[in-house]
Amino acid sequence: MLSKKHMISFFIIALLSISTLTVFANEASKINNQLNNLNTQQRQVNNELKQNENQQKSITQQLQELEAQIEKTENEIAQIRNNIRTTEKQISDTTEELIAAEDYIDSKQDLLGDRLRVMYKNGTVGYAEVLLNSRDFTDLLTNLDMVKRIVDHDVELLKHLEEQKALIEDKKAQLENQRNQLLTLRNSAENKQQQLVVSRGQQQRLREELQQDRVELAKQLDQIEREARALEDQLRKLQSSGEYIGGKMSWPVPGYSRISSPYGNRIHPILRTQRFHSGIDIPAPSGVTVVAAAQGKVVSAGTLGSYGRTIIIDHGGGIMTLYAHNSRLSVSVGQQVARGQKIAEVGSTGMSTGPHVHFEVRKDGKFQDPIPWVRGQ
């Protein structure tokens, strides 16, 4: 039977244990609430980033269409200007042709005048004299036929020349009308081009504003992630066990060994800015099994901001592993897992460009290159 002294000691230890557990639970709950708030902020920023990206894609497409329309309009203007030059050359040629025709008509009229004057000087001028000078009826018929032929020829010649002149004048009028139409088309195309250039400038300014907004959103995201990592480290220190118990680490996605993005500095695939990559990315189809790299205890299982659905395992000794962007989680917080045990399925949740696993190793809260660990550091 326990002595009174031993019973008092037992109750004191029990009370201290309960008090310690209560403090731990309260502190852990407080940190988890803060993490949840940060995760909410992170989701909001991620949504804004996605909207920003979609808007930039839309504007980029509109700019490409505007550039194509501007190029097409410039080609149309060049073709119209070429047609105007051709038409003006035709008008010039037709004008010269008209002048030549008028000169030709004038020369023919002069020639006819000369002929009449010669006939007058030779005493054969005038149709009345031709009739009076006929010797007999046969001679009269012959002279009349000759006079008729001369008259018919003169009339036909003048008629033909006047018709040619009219055709040339009509052709010139048509060409001038065509030129006026082309000038109207050119003015319309130039106005359209100017409007397109203005629209392009507006879209370019809007894209620049969106790019600046994206930079500011990326800064906000960085700040949120720094705060979240600090809180995660605090939580892990509360939850962390003693010595490292994991042993040699396994590859987290069996059968898929390609690394699409290694550990270290890189250009972020979505933010398109220089950022530190805290782990390695292993691409695999959605639904592929993700396993625990080593034995340990699940300390986080849920949505973690830009990481999406994430598992964090504590292996003791300050060593933790993180598995992000999963489509489905197969374990829960507090669960003990063995090396190679299924913990999740590959997905593309959070800030991700496609199905893959983002795998991290952390020691005392600091990022480590995962490769030496899976090779048996």
Residue 135: other Cβ atoms inside 10 A: 9
Strands (E) in the chain, as ranges, are: 264-267, 274-277, 280-283, 289-291, 296-303, 309-314, 319-326, 328-329, 336-337, 342-345, 356-363, 366-368
Tens digits of per-residue pLDDT, 52-89? 888 888 888 888 888 888 888 888 878 878 887 887 78
The rounded distance, in Å, linking the Cα atoms of 232 and 224 is 12
Q: Which residue has the tokens 């590959």?
A: 346
Mean pLDDT of 336-351: 94
More confident residue, 23 or 362: 362
161 has pLDDT over 90: no
In the chain, the N- to C-terminal Cα span, in Å, equals 53
- Show the tokens assigned to 130: 């031709």
**Among positive and negative, which fits the CA dihedral 346, 350, 355, 360?**
negative
Distance of alpha carbon 33 from alpha carbon 56, whole angstroms: 34
- Kindly tell me if the per-residue pLDDT of 17 is higher than 50: no
What pLDDT is recorded for position 323?
Answer: 97
Q: pLDDT at position 179, please?
A: 80
Which is more confidently placed, 155 or 337? 337
- Contact criterion met (CB below 8 Å) for 59 and 210: yes
Question: Which residues, 6 or more positions from 221, have their beta carbon under 8 angstroms from its beta carbon?
Answer: 42, 45, 46, 49, 271, 306
Question: Residue 293, class by beta-carbon neighbours within 10 Å (0-12 exposed, 13-18 middle, 19+ buried)?
Answer: buried
The SS3 assignment for 347 reads strand
Residue 371 has pLDDT above 50, yes or no: yes
5-15 pLDDT per residue, tens: 545 444 444 44
- Give Cα 82 distance to the centre of its chain: 34
Alpha-helix residue ranges (DSSP H) falling in 240-349? none
Beta bridge mates, 274? 267
d(CA 322, CA 283): 16
Q: Residue 158 belongs to what H/E stretch?
A: helix 137-239
How far is C-alpha 171 from the chain's CA centre?
Answer: 50
The residue that leads in pLDDT, 105 or 62, is 62
Q: What class, spelled out in words, does domain 242-377 have in CATH?
A: mainly beta
Q: How confident is the model over 106-116, as pLDDT tens digits?
A: 777 676 666 55
What are the tens digits of pLDDT across the range 258-288? Answer: 999 899 876 665 556 667 888 999 999 999 9
List the domain boundaries for the chain: 1-239, 242-377
In the numeric block, which tokens belong to residue 176?
Answer: 């001038």
Alpha carbons 240 and 233: distance in angstroms, whole number = 10
pTM comes to 0.48
* Average pLDDT over the chain, rounded to an integer: 78
Q: Are strands 319-326 and 342-345 parallel, antiparallel or unpaired?
A: unpaired
Report domain 1-239's class.
mainly alpha
| Three-state secondary-structure class, residue 146 | helix
Residue 325: band (very low, low, confident or very high) from pLDDT cuts 50, 70, 90: very high
SS3 assignment, position 282: strand
Q: What are phi and psi of 266, to 5 degrees?
A: -160, 170
Q: How far apart are CA 41 and CA 35, in angstroms?
A: 10
